[in-house]
């Protein structure tokens, strides 16, 4: 009989570079299951607990804690150690401590502690907008969620979501003057102001000119996420 299902492991040497793991400790490590985030931009939940926030010491301990329903992601109890956890996701422990995964110091994802007032709030970037039956608008977000809403949003805007309902509380327009977070690349984790938006041409995508303290960088809009007007609306670094 042939093998059923996919492998739940991956070789450590083949794991994404941003994973905070010891590469020569053993041969295998957890694999990210297909889900809300691309596997190249996500942690498996069990590894977040063990390696990123160090709430557990072993993969087995992570599995026990998850089986007991003590871990929430975006306000919902999760039990799968291979669940993809990515940008802006909030991981909450049973003791009330919560961590948001954000880009930091050129790394794609790193946990930052958030207080009680922020663990029920998340930023979600609009990545798609389609009209469905009944002439209603369905929006897609960077974390795989979709939502039918009457809100007037554009692709690139960021929504402030109430967790766990994923209800839109407010939204931030992707426009000149907005405060932006760089989410990938060498500048990942840096926060600056959008100075200009430059339309794409045949050979170049639409770009944003983002100003930091000492310089300005032109980046494809896919690498930029607006997080506020004058300053970030929530803690992102």
Q: What are 23-51's pLDDT values in tens digits?
A: 666 667 778 888 889 888 888 999 899 88
Query: Would you state the structure tokens that stand for residue 57, as one six-digit string?
Result: 């010491």
Quote the CATH superfamily of domain 9-114: RNA-binding S4 domain (3.10.290.10)
89 forms beta bridges with none
Domain ranges in the chain are 9-114, 121-172, 179-228
46 closest CA partner among 91, 20, 22, 81: 81
Q: Which CATH architecture has domain 121-172?
A: Beta Barrel (2.40)
Could you give the maximum distance between any two Cα atoms of the chain, in Å? 62
Residue 164: is the preceding peptide bond cis (ω within 30°)? yes
Torsion of CA 24, 43, 235, 165, to 10 degrees: -160
Token look-up 């297909």 returns: 34
pLDDT exceeds cutoff 80 at 218: yes
Coil vs helix vs strand at 158: strand
Counting beta carbons within 10 angstroms of the beta carbon of residue 66, is it exposed (0 to 12), middle (13 to 18) or buried (19 or more)?
buried
The answer to whether the pTM exceeds 0.75 is yes
Residues in the chain: 237
Q: What are 104-163's pLDDT values in tens digits?
A: 988 889 999 998 889 999 999 999 999 999 889 999 999 999 999 998 999 999 999 999
């Amino acid at each position: 009989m042939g093998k059923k299902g996919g492998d739940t492991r991956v070789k450590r040497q083949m794991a994404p570079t941003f994973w905070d793991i010891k590469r020569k400790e053993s041969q295998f490590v957890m694999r990210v299951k297909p889900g809300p985030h691309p596997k190249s931009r996500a942690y498996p939940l069990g590894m977040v607990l063990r390696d990123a926030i160090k709430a557990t010491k072993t993969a087995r301990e992570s599995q026990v804690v998850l089986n007991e329903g003590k871990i929430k992601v975006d306000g919902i109890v999760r039990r799968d150690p291979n669940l993809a956890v990515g940008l802006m996701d909030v991981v909450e422990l049973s003791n009330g401590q919560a961590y948001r995964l954000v880009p930091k110091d050129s790394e794609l994802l790193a946990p930052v502690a958030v207080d009680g007032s922020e663990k029920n709030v998340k930023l979600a970037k609009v990545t798609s907008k389609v009209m469905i039956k009944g002439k209603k608008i369905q929006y897609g977000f960077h974390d795989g969620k979709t939502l039918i809403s009457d809100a007037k949003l554009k692709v690139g805007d960021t929504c402030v979501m109430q967790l766990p309902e994923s209800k839109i509380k407010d939204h931030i327009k992707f426009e000149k003057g907005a405060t932006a977070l760089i989410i990938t690349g060498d500048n990942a984790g840096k926060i600056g102001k959008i100075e200009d938006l430059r339309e794409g041409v045949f050979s170049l995508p639409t770009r944003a000119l983002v100003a930091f303290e000492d310089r300005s960088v032109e980046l494809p809009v896919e690498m930029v996420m607006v997080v506020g007007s004058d300053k970030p609306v929530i803690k992102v670094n």
